[in-house]
Copies of this chain bind each other. A is one copy, B any other.
Amino acid sequence: MNEFGNMPQAATDKYQQQRAQAIRCAAAVFAEKGFHGASTKDIAERIGIKQGSLYYYFKSKEEALGEVCLYGIEDYVHRMDGIAASEQPFAAKLLATVTSHLSSYRERNEALKVHNDERLYLPEEKRQKLHKLGSRYRKSLQGIFQEGVASGDLRDSIDCHFAAQAVIGICNAWGDIIVREPDLDIFDVTQKCVDLLLNGFCERRKNTRQDRRA
Contacts and interface: CB of A to CB of B under 8 A. Distances in A.
Interface of A: 33-37, 117-118, 121, 145, 148, 152-155, 158-159, 162-163, 165-166, 168-174, 177, 189, 192-193, 196-206, 208-210
A154 B201 CA distance: 6
Contacts of A206: 205-206
- Residue in A165, A199, A208 with the greatest tally of chain B CB atoms within 10 Å: A199
Contacts of A152: 203
Given A37-B121, A166-B170, A173-B166, A203 B196 contact: no
A150 B169 CA distance: 27
Contact of A204 (B36, B155, B196, B197): B155
A174 B145 CA distance: 18
Contacts of A171: 169
Contact of A174 (B169, B192, B196, B200): B169
B174 A165 contact: yes
Contacts of A203: 152-155, 208-209
A33 B118 CA distance: 10
11 contacts: A34-B34, A34-B118, A117-B117, A154-B203, A162-B174, A162-B196, A165-B174, A165-B177, A170-B170, A196-B197, A205-B208
Contact of A37 (B35, B148, B204): B35
Contact of A169 (B37, B162, B170, B202): B170
A169 B165 CA distance: 10
A116 to B, nearest CB: 9
Contacts of A159: 192
Contacts of A210: 202
B177 A173 contact: no
Nearest to A116: B117
Contacts of A166: 170, 173-174, 193, 196
